[in-house]
Chains A and B, each alone.
Chain A
């Protein structure tokens, strides 16, 4: 494999800076919870289903707790109190909880310390069962993966997005038959801004299909069947992002998903979700992700769709260090971190492809154990599908040359519509050809010492290092305020979902913070 003379000491320093940046954010996280985290706790404890008007029970209960100022003790605590009053029907709880909590909860009988301990022990037992159930599901997934194998790198990742989960199943099966190894079901546009997860199977969506637990189950069931037929395990991914990040992580873990789009900053920058909310939510989502050994895909590729890919390539690398550090704090291991990057440099710039190689190779070397996710061109795609197919082919060659792990398959109709079945077929055929034809290219070439590729890569690392030093100086939240990432500025108290952030009281109870542990190494 060609190697760039990367200064390992500088890389180590980048990691130290990122660890310090992450630690500072973590101190804030550890003192807070959010409505989304508490809804996830309830879902883990078995609160499923919806109320009379289709609103999830977890939302109805958490809204009441939040409105009455009780959320800082933790939804788990209140669920325990209700159980001790004999209220164990979740639907009935929705109507009785407001009454119980009215006037600061004066109607609730006071608890002795022994009763308080017993309450917590009861919930703790339920939580242990819940975590064991997630472990069993992880083991079931891993056993099938192990038995059938996922196939070689780069793993071909392809998108389906019809809006109708049953139609998605057809398209996913067809893509798998054409060689796809990972199926991503794109969400309906704007689902990230819904502060609840829709319920049940869905057949209507815009620009994608709603992420619901039932839709996850339907797709995984179909892919299990297709995996058996093909003798090759087809992985499934969805989005743990937006205002329901940790809830989706739970649903994905429960339904045996393999991967999740999950990023510590994406929602802040691209969906204008409040940064405090996002940092707290990403932490709890990653605790579940760590325990279920789900591979995450981070979203740095998006930076280059708003900022210039030549000028701002280093922000991708800087952000990857930060995403890595925050994921480590949640218990994730390197083999779970599919850090994202993209082939987005203006293709008409001279030597643009050399710069793409430089960045891809640099990231490969800096994150050697990570299942890196390389994203195809989007920003400079046009409706000229024949040219776009050529452009994607160059991306495919860069992918195999720099030994990327996960390859989002570029489709020539990228700028036009969600891919047609035949568009995917053509795209996969191109990837199959190029990753075979150039399979060992990486073992046969070296980059010219002091040449253009080397210089570009080292410059990106230098700038990333400078950026991290600056972020460390001002703190991550203020750095985002300055527009360091993606040319986008966000205020610490701005954006959506800030009202859902709550300070943890000193008797805050969330048994999962102790129970969710990474499994032993496989």
Chain B
């Protein structure tokens, strides 16, 4: 067992920096309120209110340093991760040609109200993201970018129509957890139509993780900074794995 706490200036000092706003005018009483809030109500030690400023007539903004007595057992923390190695552009293509011997077909888009295509564009479009080519560029992939504001049925119909192996869902807007609601909605619709097990469902977005994606009923999740080759690598392994357990028809290379 290895218990740890935040490292500020020396081992185990527990120093944390906090910034927050209280809906009261800045002043001596506000400063003391902030200090007591962190010390008494949050249970921290050595509280230093480093800055207090009037963010407006009725809002005081604070920068506070304090030490926590809390610690955590690092060994006991487990988190599911997508553990496929990144084969890179040519590695993925070699695996598709050498082992799968057919195209991988994917449809991607953003369902529900969210109008942002930036995430799905980064993964699918030819150009890709951060110098890493998008799926359209891979000779072994047939990728369809359906854009944003897709209706769930439209999304699923298209996946059926093109015999997709995988459905890539991108969610950007997260206000009041609308991204979770939309993401879950698509899975529920797929289940209702008996399509859940027909496709690999992948969820991505700047505020998402693999763990959250699993909780929402997806097969895998990719967070901020994900490169197309990471998604491609996961897909090639997963499609090979699934085709071994139940070989399905696909478009030949």
A420: contacting residue among B21, B53, B56, B175, CB under 8 A: B21
Which residues of the partner chain A approach B43 to less than 8 Å between Cβ atoms?
none
A347 within 8 A of B: no
Asked if B175 and A174 make an inter-chain contact with CB atoms under 8 angstroms apart, the answer reads no
Query: How big is the B interface, by class?
Result: 20 to 34
| Chain B 30-51 interface 0/1 with A at a Cβ cutoff of 8 Å (1 = within) | 0000000000000000000000
| Cα–Cα, bound, A415→B223 (Å) | 13
When A415-B206, A422-B19, A487-B127 are in contact, do A305 and B175 touch as well, CB less than 8 Å? Answer: no
Asked if A193 and B55 make an inter-chain contact with CB atoms under 8 angstroms apart, the answer reads no
State how many angstroms separate the Cβ of B141 from the closest Cβ of chain A: 19
Asked if B115 and A190 make an inter-chain contact with CB atoms under 8 angstroms apart, the answer reads yes
State how many angstroms separate the Cβ of A225 from the closest Cβ of chain B: 13
Which residues of the partner chain B approach A424 to less than 8 Å between Cβ atoms?
55
A328 within 8 A of B: no
| Cα–Cα, bound, A306→B128 (Å) | 10
A418-435 contacts to B (CB < 8 Å): 418, 420-422, 424-426, 429
State how many angstroms separate the Cβ of A455 from the closest Cβ of chain B: 24
Asked if A192 and B115 make an inter-chain contact with CB atoms under 8 angstroms apart, the answer reads yes
Asked if B173 and A189 make an inter-chain contact with CB atoms under 8 angstroms apart, the answer reads yes
| Cα–Cα, bound, A429→B225 (Å) | 29
B7 within 8 A of A: no
A200 within 8 A of B: no
Asked if A383 and B224 make an inter-chain contact with CB atoms under 8 angstroms apart, the answer reads yes
Counting chain B CB atoms within 10 Å of each CB, the highest count among A174, A177, A189, A487 belongs to: A189
State how many angstroms separate the Cβ of A490 from the closest Cβ of chain B: 12
State how many angstroms separate the Cβ of B142 from the closest Cβ of chain A: 19
Asked if B56 and A173 make an inter-chain contact with CB atoms under 8 angstroms apart, the answer reads yes
Asked if B224 and A193 make an inter-chain contact with CB atoms under 8 angstroms apart, the answer reads no
| Chain B 47-77 interface 0/1 with A at a Cβ cutoff of 8 Å (1 = within) | 0000001011111010000000000000000
Counting chain B CB atoms within 10 Å of each CB, the highest count among A178, A382, A429 belongs to: A178
Which residues of the partner chain B approach A147 to less than 8 Å between Cβ atoms?
none
B176 within 8 A of A: yes
| Chain A 246-273 interface 0/1 with B at a Cβ cutoff of 8 Å (1 = within) | 0000000000000000000000000110
Which residues of the partner chain B approach A383 to less than 8 Å between Cβ atoms?
224
B170-193 contacts to A (CB < 8 Å): 173-176, 178
Asked if B113 and A422 make an inter-chain contact with CB atoms under 8 angstroms apart, the answer reads no
B109 within 8 A of A: no
A207 within 8 A of B: yes
Query: How big is the A interface, by class?
Result: 20 to 34
State how many angstroms separate the Cβ of A263 from the closest Cβ of chain B: 16
Which residues of the partner chain A approach B176 to less than 8 Å between Cβ atoms?
163, 206
When A190-B113, A193-B149 are in contact, do A421 and B59 touch as well, CB less than 8 Å? Answer: yes
Asked if A193 and B115 make an inter-chain contact with CB atoms under 8 angstroms apart, the answer reads yes
B178: contacting residue among A192, A206, A487, CB under 8 A: A206
A67 within 8 A of B: no
A174: contacting residue among B56, B118, B178, B206, CB under 8 A: B56
| Cα–Cα, bound, A382→B206 (Å) | 9
| Cα–Cα, bound, A81→B74 (Å) | 78
Asked if A421 and B147 make an inter-chain contact with CB atoms under 8 angstroms apart, the answer reads no
| Cα–Cα, bound, A123→B118 (Å) | 47
B230 within 8 A of A: no
Chain B, residue nearest A163 (CB): B175
Chain B, residue nearest A174 (CB): B56
A106 within 8 A of B: no
| Cα–Cα, bound, A416→B173 (Å) | 10
Asked if A421 and B55 make an inter-chain contact with CB atoms under 8 angstroms apart, the answer reads yes
Extra inter-chain contacts (20) besides given A189-B114, A308-B127, A425-B21, CB under 8 Å: A174-B55, A174-B59, A177-B56, A189-B173, A192-B115, A206-B173, A206-B176, A207-B173, A207-B175, A305-B118, A382-B225, A415-B206, A416-B206, A416-B207, A421-B21, A421-B55, A421-B59, A422-B20, A422-B59, A425-B55
Which A residues contact B (CB, under 8 angstroms)? 163, 173-175, 177-178, 189-190, 192-193, 206-207, 271-272, 305-306, 308, 382-383, 415-418, 420-422, 424-426, 429, 487
Which 4 pairs show the lowest CB-CB distances between chains A and B? A174-B56, A425-B55, A177-B56, A422-B21
